[in-house]
């Protein structure tokens, strides 16, 4: 499951009568430069397991690309459709991850702790030599990739969490998380009208505030890309495809907000963002797995994706996407999103 799919009232297929509450990451060890939790940063030692469907895992995908960590931190992509045994490696030959040698992500969780409480969530970082899960703390993973992994960043990598702007980034990201990242889930998994109405109001109140903030500035904090933009992007890129209809966040489509639509297209067209997005995986996961919301499991054909590549004109606001750095190189061979899954 994605982290936000594992809270009270949410499950793999059915949703209870409690209000949606996101589960906390159970495994919160950190991989650091000094190895203080027992997990030192080391090129080639760890494997990042993601689903391209999951917005929380997608944060790590974007960060890894922008920072150029592909050769240092290998990637496993799970099938967008889990079953009762958790995320499956059915996209790989023999239905096994070729590095970890496992069929299901729960095997790495079980190596770390048998019968642990909670679901099997992505993103997850696994220690390759032992096969054990290290962390599923999606909030911390990207911050550590930006800071603790700096010795392994590519030349020209952007500073996604600049020290001078951290307080502002954290403040903006907290509002985005509470009302947008998690807000769409609160609306989608609501089991009562009042609960849904509150979540719906929070989502669009925050989107209106963000639209106003971004009206005359290219990025959320400062004049370069930061962690704050990554955290907002992964929800916005899914908004019209799944949250507008599937989660009933339907006051308006993102494409009907000129500012936010231009902003998210600007990010999508920036190397490191759109080249990690798989719209096929996104739609099939939400509409097939959430049978408590969509019992027929019918996946809608739309929306039309061609608009993602249209001019956004946000460059007129200035800003330097990568600061004093450079764009990431092309996506490594074998990690490309299939042509039929993108505009």
Q: In the 3-class helix/strand/coil scheme, how is the chain assigned residue by residue?
A: CCHHHCCECCCCCCCCCCCCECCCCCCECCCECCCCCCCECCCCCEEEEECCCCHHHHHHHHHHHHHCCCCCCEEEECCCCCECCECECCCCHHHCCCCCCCCECHHHHHHHCCCCCCCCCCCEEEECCCCEEEECCHHHHHHHHHHCCHHHCCCCCCCCCCHHHHHHHHHHHHHHHHHHHCHHHHHHCCCCHHHHHHHHHHHHHHHHHHHHHCCCCCCCCCCCCCHHHHHHHHHHHHHHHHHCCCCCCCCCCHHHCHHHHHHHHHHHCCCCCHHHCCHHHHHHHHHHHCCCCCCCCCCCCCCCCHHHHCCCCHHHHCCCCCCCCCCCCCCCCCCCCCHHHCC
Look at residues 2, 240, 298 and name the one whose alpha carbon lies nearest to residue 121.
Answer: 2
Annotated binding site for glutathione: 87
Look at phi and psi of residue 252 and say left if phi exceeds 0, alpha if psi is from -120 to 50, else beta: beta
What does the pLDDT read at residue 16?
38
* The pLDDT of residue 12 is above 50: no
Contact predicate 52/77, CB 8 Å: yes
Q: How far apart are CA 57 and CA 78, in angstroms?
A: 11
* The pLDDT of residue 1 is above 90: no
Instruction: Kindly indicate whether the domain formed by 3-152 is annotated with CATH number 3.30.750.210.
Output: no
Annotated binding site: 87
| pLDDT tens-place string over residues 110-159 | 999 988 777 899 999 999 999 999 999 999 999 999 999 999 999 999 99
Cis peptide before 114 (omega within 30 of 0): no
| pLDDT tens-place string over residues 14-69 | 333 356 555 556 899 999 999 999 999 999 999 999 999 999 999 999 999 999 99
- Which of the four pLDDT bands, split at 50, 70 and 90, describes residue 7? very low
Q: How far apart are CA 97 and CA 77, in angstroms?
A: 9
**Which tokens hold the place of 162?**
């600049």
Average pLDDT over residues 273-280: 98
Contact predicate 169/161, CB 8 Å: yes
Q: How far apart are CA 237 and CA 32, in angstroms?
A: 30
What does the pLDDT read at residue 236?
98
**Mean pLDDT score across all residues of the chain:** 93
**Which tokens hold the place of 210?**
């963000």
What does the pLDDT read at residue 6?
45
Name the pTM for this structure: 0.94
Q: How far apart are CA 194 and CA 182, in angstroms?
A: 17
Which residues are the active-site residues? 54, 185
What does the pLDDT read at residue 85?
85
**Which tokens hold the place of 180?**
């947008």
* Residue 23: how many other CB atoms lie within 10 Å: 17
**Which tokens hold the place of 23?**
């589960």
- How many residues are there in the chain? 343
Q: Which architecture does CATH list for 165-323+330-341?
A: Up-down Bundle (1.20)
Sequence ranges of the domains in the chain? 3-152, 165-323+330-341
* The pLDDT of residue 8 is above 90: no
Give residues with Cβ within 8 angstroms of 337, minimum separation 6.
Answer: 52, 275, 276, 277, 278, 331
| pLDDT tens-place string over residues 199-249 | 999 999 999 999 999 999 999 999 999 999 999 999 999 999 999 999 999
């Amino acid at each position: 499951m994605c982290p936000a799919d594992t809270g009270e009232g949410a499950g793999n297929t059915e949703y209870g009568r409690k209000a949606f509450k996101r589960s906390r990451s159970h495994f919160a060890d950190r991989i650091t430069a000094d190895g203080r939790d027992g997990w030192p940063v080391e090129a080639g030692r760890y494997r990042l397991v993601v689903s391209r469907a999951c917005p929380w895992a997608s944060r790590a995908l974007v960060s890894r690309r922008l920072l150029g960590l592909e050769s240092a931190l290998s990637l496993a992509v799970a099938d967008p459709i889990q079953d009762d045994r958790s995320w499956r490696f059915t996209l790989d030959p023999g239905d096994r991850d070729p590095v970890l040698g496992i069929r299901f992500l729960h095997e790495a969780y079980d190596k770390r702790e048998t019968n642990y409480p909670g679901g099997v969530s992505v993103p997850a970082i696994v220690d390759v030599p032992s096969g054990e899960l290290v962390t599923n703390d999606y909030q911390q993973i990207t911050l550590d990739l930006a800071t603790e992994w700096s010795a392994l960043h590519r030349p020209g990598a952007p500073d996604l969490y600049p020290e001078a702007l951290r307080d502002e980034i954290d403040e903006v990201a907290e509002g985005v998380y509470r009302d947008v990242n998690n807000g769409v889930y609160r609306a989608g998994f609501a089991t009562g009208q009042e609960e849904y109405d509150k979540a719906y109001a929070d989502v669009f109140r925050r989107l209106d505030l963000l639209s106003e903030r971004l009206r005359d500035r290219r990025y959320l904090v400062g004049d370069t890309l930061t962690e704050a933009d990554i955290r907002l992007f992964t929800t916005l890129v899914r908004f019209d495809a799944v949250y507008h209809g599937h989660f009933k966040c339907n006051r308006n489509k993102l494409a009907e907000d000129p500012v936010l639509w231009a902003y998210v297209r600007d990010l999508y067209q920036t190397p490191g963002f759109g080249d990690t997005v798989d719209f096929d995986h996104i739609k099939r996961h939400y509409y097939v797995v959430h049978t408590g919301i969509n019992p027929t499991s019918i996946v809608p054909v739309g929306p039309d994706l061609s608009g993602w590549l249209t001019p956004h004109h946000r460059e007129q606001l200035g800003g330097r996407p990568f600061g004093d750095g450079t764009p990431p190189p092309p996506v490594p061979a074998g990690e490309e999103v299939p042509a039929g899954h993108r505009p």
